[in-house]
Amino acid sequence: MNKQRLSELIQTFFTCDREQVSAIFDELLTAVEMEEHRGAGGLMSRNYETAQANPEIHTLPGNLKDARDAIFPYFWGTDGWSSKLHLENVKGPANYASLVGALACLLKNPNLCTDTYSQRSNELEVKSMTALANLVFYNTDSPWGLFTMGGTVSNLYGGKLGIERVMPGAMHHGLQDARLSGVVSQAAHYSNATLAGWLGMGTDHLHTVPTDANLAMRLDLLERKLDELYAEGRRVAFVIATFGTTDAFGVDDVAGIRAIVDAVSARHGQPAPQLHVDAAVGWFYTVLNEYDLDANPFDLNEQTLPLVYAIQQHSKGLRHADSVTIDFHKLGWGHYPASAFVVNRRDDLKCLIREKRDVPYFSEADARRDPAMYTLECSRAAIGPYSVMATLNGLGLIGCQMLAANSLEMALKFKARLAALDYCRVLNPDTIGPSVVFWVLPKGRDAGQVYDQLVAGELPAEKRERYFDETHRLFDKRCQTLDPAVDARLSFTRSIGYCPHGVAIPAWKAVFFNPRTDDEVIDRVIESIENLM
Ligand SMILES: *Cc1c(COP(=O)(O)O)cnc(C)c1O
């Protein structure tokens, strides 16, 4: 080996040149600053053709600026969603406290697999997990959990614990010919189908229970479905409730579901299924649990206060869950990946523990402190704990409460503005949360009446399709005519999750997720809708 050249390489890439690293970081920050003035979306078009045709890499060693240049066009061409005009989804700007945490994490690059590889970063995971568990469960004897790659994987853990619960030893013996089923609401996230497929149960055996008009699972139909499944001789591994559906923010009654799963499984002499709650989006509102409604320190308006009360009531149900999914990279405004799977009783994770002989290179591992003994992953990123603790302690509980309450207030304002237009209909007027799903029909139509007819089952299919088509076409028209500098970006969903008489309802969607979105944005959206016709 040419020692001289090797030493140059090490000097450039394995020694921290503080000045150079800071200078490049400063350039990246400048690019981010410029983005702030560009409005929402439409930055640069993609070039997939040459991306695949030109994968060449440099031959000679370069320097950190080569690293910068290699990624810069893509960095520049990517929207960080900081603009207040982004209302498409539960996606938004990550907060800067989280950036401090995430950068600190990247600088040390710990691996949460074992204590030995992460030292105090595992301690931070325990701390942040306990903080999150206290938020969702209040006081619980032995909260525990772990950070995962995303809400999908956190839900997958819930499903896996359920399978082990009704079929102990499945980890080793497989599903054999057990006939397993799982249950979710019709408005649940598709990740539940993903886990049913990946866990070997089969997506065909994930059953959906219809919701009421508020997007909450119908408890009477849940009971009927469970009875049916048990009567067919199937084992129900899990029921996954949703706390905040992705489109319209339906919240399932977790306490009610608990009572039903316990009663029906006992009636059939079966072990109770895992009651997992997918609170990927909705968990954040538990920060409002202790908001003092009488003193009302934020001066929330009269319409918002009852919503906060409703959230406090819904949140109490979470204590009845066996486990909960939390996405800190959605509400939480953290960096990806920062999803947490939290269990109410630490012992429940026992069924996942590996034998020492299965993990030869972690010879000293101990399940009491080395997550690799029971996690799906081996190497595991630490962005989650760093993002969570930096954010929660940066913003403080009060800061989080302000963000949560603000999103509620903005969504309510927008709902009220739409309600004043006859040709519009808000489809989730009574759900809590940041999401508004709605119809815009041609002027002259009575959208409220159309909706009532649909729900009553009195809207002929052919008319229904015409109205659905109209609202979609108006959405497209707005997209084509909007001015990216001032008009907010909305999105369109093919089904809000509530399906009266089996009909999936399409809708426009606006999510008040970005804390910077203000009254001016709402005024302008309403104006753009009025100008469509
Ligand atoms: C986003 C979402 C998921 C999936 O989470 P990822 O972090 O994107 O994998 C699951 N459930 C709900 C309700 C969601 O909104």
Per-residue pLDDT at 54 exceeds 90: no
Residue 341's DSSP bridge partners are 146, 325
Per-residue b or e along 411-422, where b marks 16 or more CB atoms closer than 10 Å to that residue's CB:
bbbbbebbeebe
Helix pair angle (383-419, 96-108), 10° resolution: 160
Q: Which atom of ligand 1 is found nearest the CA of 329?
A: 7
Mutate to test the pocket of ligand 1, among 184, 327, 511 (most ligand atoms within 8 A of CB): 327
Please give the distance, rounded to the nearest whole angstrom, from the Cα atom of residue 459 to the centre of ligand 1.
33
| pLDDT the model gives residue 323 | 97
357 confidence band (pLDDT: 50, 70, 90): confident
Q: How far is the CA of 309 from the centre of ligand 1 (A)?
A: 25
Q: What is the DSSP string of 356-369?
A: GGG-TT-TT--TTT
- The answer, yes or no, to whether residue 365 has pLDDT greater than 80, is no
Burial class (CB in 10 A: 0-12, 13-18, 19+), 519: exposed
Average pLDDT over residues 43-62: 88
Identify the weakest region by mean pLDDT among 28-42, 69-83, 143-157: 28-42
Residue 257, amino acid: I
Mutating to test ligand 1, I would choose from 89, 206, 330, 387 the residue with most ligand atoms within 8 A of its C-beta, which is 330
Helix (H, G, I), strand (E, B) or coil at 80: coil
Short-list 267, 269, 255, CA closest to 316: 255
Question: Which residue is it, tokens 């009852």?
Answer: 306
- Grade residue 115 by pLDDT with cuts at 50, 70 and 90: confident
Compute the distance between CA of residue 513 and CA of residue 324 in angstroms, rounded to an integer: 21
Per-residue pLDDT tens for 483-505? Answer: 988 999 999 999 999 999 999 99
Q: What is the pLDDT of residue 36?
A: 80
Q: Please give the Cα distance from 176 to 499 (Å, whole number).
A: 35
As to burial, measured by CB atoms within 10 angstroms (0-12 exposed, 13-18 middle, 19+ buried), residue 177 is exposed
pLDDT at 358: 79
**Does a cis peptide bond (omega within 30 degrees of 0) precede residue 337?**
yes
- Probe ligand 1: pick from 157, 206, 281, max atoms within 8 Å of CB? 281
Position 20 pLDDT exceeds 80? yes
Q: Domains in the chain and their CATH numbers? A: 110-400 (3.40.640.10)
| Mean pLDDT, rounded, for 443-461 | 97
Q: What pLDDT band is residue 32 in, cutting at 50, 70 and 90?
A: very high
Name the pLDDT band for 139 (thresholds 50, 70, 90): confident
Q: What mean pLDDT, rounded, does the chain reach?
A: 95
Residue 39 has pLDDT above 80, yes or no: no
Map tokens 């119809």 to a residue. 439
**CB-based burial of residue 359 (10 Å sphere; 0-12 exposed, 13-18 middle, 19+ buried)?**
middle
The first and second tokens of residue 55, run together, are: 């994968």
Ligand 1 atom nearest 188 alpha carbon: 13
207-256 pLDDT, tens per residue? 999 999 999 999 999 999 999 999 999 999 999 999 999 999 999 999 99
How are beta strands 435-440 and 339-343 bridged, if at all? unpaired
Report pTM: 0.96
Residue 436 backbone phi and psi in degrees, to 5: -125, 120
Q: Rounded to the nearest whole angstrom, what is the distance from the C-alpha of residue 513 to the centroid of ligand 1?
A: 15
Q: What is the pLDDT of residues 401-440, one digit of tens each?
A: 999 999 999 999 999 999 999 999 999 999 999 999 999 9
pLDDT at residue 163 in the model: 98
**CA–CA dist 147, 342 (Å, integer):** 9
pLDDT of amino acid 362: 75
Q: What is the pLDDT of residue 379?
A: 95
Q: How many whole angstroms separate alpha carbon 399 and alpha carbon 318?
A: 23
Q: Which of 199, 204, 217, 209 is nearest to 159 (CA)?
A: 199
Ligand 1 centroid to residue 191 C-alpha, Å = 7
- Using CB distances shorter than 6 Å, the residues near ligand 1 are 150-152, 155, 189, 191, 242, 246, 278, 280-281, 327, 339
pLDDT tens per residue across span 290-322 = 999 999 999 999 999 999 999 999 999 999 999
Alpha-carbon span 451 to 204, nearest angstrom: 31
Q: What is the pLDDT of residues 152-198, one digit of tens each?
A: 999 999 999 999 999 999 999 999 989 999 999 999 999 999 999 99
Q: Which residues pair with 435 in a beta bridge?
A: 511
- Residues 249-288 pLDDT 10s: 999 999 999 999 999 999 999 999 999 999 999 999 999 9
Residue 189 CA, ligand 1 centroid: distance in Å: 7
